[in-house]
Chains A and B, each alone.
Chain A
């Protein structure tokens, strides 16, 4: 068992345990914090697979960006230490059954398949090649993503405005339409 195997095993355990707490912890704040563990574990797995660019992107965008926004939203919107969203296990029965059935079915397929043609990974650095791919064969998709990001950000800003300002905006728009 090499060091990389040990590292991958650690990432598997960390990711699975953290995902468990994300799904089941009664306090949403601790759920959000344990989501960090899952995302860091996924970044570690990217690293172990030789996807260095993706590991960095995962850490910067997910752990550095999305999780901060999630924690911000949790703390903005909830009386986090009083309110418990986990009101009995009843609401978890159907999701647990659905997830269990999907897990059992897919695990059976995965473990029953013949994976003997798996190749050894070769660890070339991918950052340079991915940069060229994004402006070469994937340039069009990249531009689509740029447009989606821009429109999404504008939409998020408009949605997050307070209701009073929305009313003002409506009035301004009607007024400018009348003129």
Chain B
């Protein structure tokens, strides 16, 4: 396990684990908040990948762009924040109108 901190595939596998659990939570949870937590996990997995590639493959990327991955991850974090605000507003509204946040029961729009 020596050199784990500079081992790019280890970071990729870790982010893949986060992504897989996030996918399971987003598809399998019945609560709207559970689905939302799964989406957060997947966003985090993507952000980890951006930073890991940026930091550990610097030689492959052009020299003047040593921060692109960091900036991209920062925007992911910011947009996740606003996504949280809107999603939870919808959750509270749904709960206010039908006393449950079970995503399977919000089915008025079913065709």
A contacts, CB < 8 Å to B = 1-2, 4-5, 7-9, 12, 15-16, 19-20, 22-24, 28, 31-32, 35, 38-39, 42, 45-46, 48-51, 53-54, 57-58, 61-62, 65-66, 69-70, 72-74, 76-78, 85, 87, 91-92, 94-96, 98-100, 102-103, 106-107, 110-111, 113, 115, 117-122, 126, 129-130, 133-134, 138, 141, 145, 148-149, 152-153, 155-157, 159-160, 162-163
Contact = CB atoms under 8 A, between A and B. Distances in A.
Given A77-B91, A110-B12, A159-B93, A53 B70 contact: yes
Contacts of B36: 70
A148 to B, nearest CB: 6
A117 B57 contact: yes
22 contacts: A8-B5, A12-B14, A22-B21, A28-B31, A31-B34, A32-B37, A39-B44, A53-B74, A54-B74, A57-B74, A95-B26, A115-B9, A121-B55, A121-B56, A129-B67, A130-B67, A130-B74, A141-B75, A153-B82, A155-B86, A157-B89, A163-B96
Nearest to B44: A42
A58 B80 CA distance: 11
Interface in B1-15: 1-14
Contact of A45 (B8, B24, B48, B83): B48
B68 to A, nearest CB: 9
Contacts of A69: 84-85, 88
Nearest to A146: B78
Sorted nearest first, the 9 A-B pairs with minimum C-beta distance are A95-B27, A19-B21, A156-B89, A152-B82, A160-B89, A77-B95, A95-B28, A23-B25, A119-B59
A70 to B, nearest CB: 6
Contacts of B66: 129
Given A9-B1, A16-B17, A73 B82 contact: no
A33 to B, nearest CB: 11
